[in-house]
Amino acid sequence: MLVDLTSFRKAIDSLDRGLARAEAAPDDEELRDGAIQLFEDTYELAWKSLKRVLETISASPDEIDFLSFRDLIRLGAEKGFLDDPSAWLGFREERNISSHTYDESKAAEVYRAALDFASEARALFVRLEARLR
């Protein structure tokens, strides 16, 4: 199975740009909200890319489909793709918060998570890409 990480790379690049713009204008809620949306999109591509690569390198790719999200993240850490699985589970919680409710304090919380997530996403991309070479 060929895994194309182009969309994931582009999402990370967009997230980096969005966060930089939001950081440059901290009072602009629309830029912050845009960065949060980019975080949500990039997070989805991140774990789906991880899953596809795990399927590619697994002796039993079908077994990956039956893993819980938590087990998928743990396996990603075991295989050396993720340094801190608990951080990735936390990012998922933040992503879910942003999708289901909106208030100013939660938006600020999710935005802070997005700032932390950006470097984690970039590290994951680099490791996935290296594994596919």
Could you report the per-residue pLDDT of 111-132, keeping only the tens digit for each? Answer: 999 999 999 999 999 999 999 9
Query: What pLDDT is attached to residue 100?
Result: 65
For residue 1, what pLDDT band results from cuts at 50, 70 and 90? Answer: low
Query: What pLDDT is attached to residue 74?
Result: 98
For the stretch 17-31, pLDDT in tens is 999 999 999 999 999
Instruction: Say which of 74, 95, 122, 131 is annotated catalytic.
Output: 95
pTM over 0.85: yes
Is residue 102 within 8 Å of 110, Cβ to Cβ?
A: no
| Beta strand spans in the chain (E) | none
**Residue 67 parent element (H or E):** none
- Catalytic, 9? Answer no
- Catalytic, 100? Answer yes
Instruction: Say which of 92, 100, 112, 122 is annotated catalytic.
Output: 100
> Architecture of 6-132 per CATH?
Up-down Bundle (1.20)
Query: What pLDDT is attached to residue 98?
Result: 78
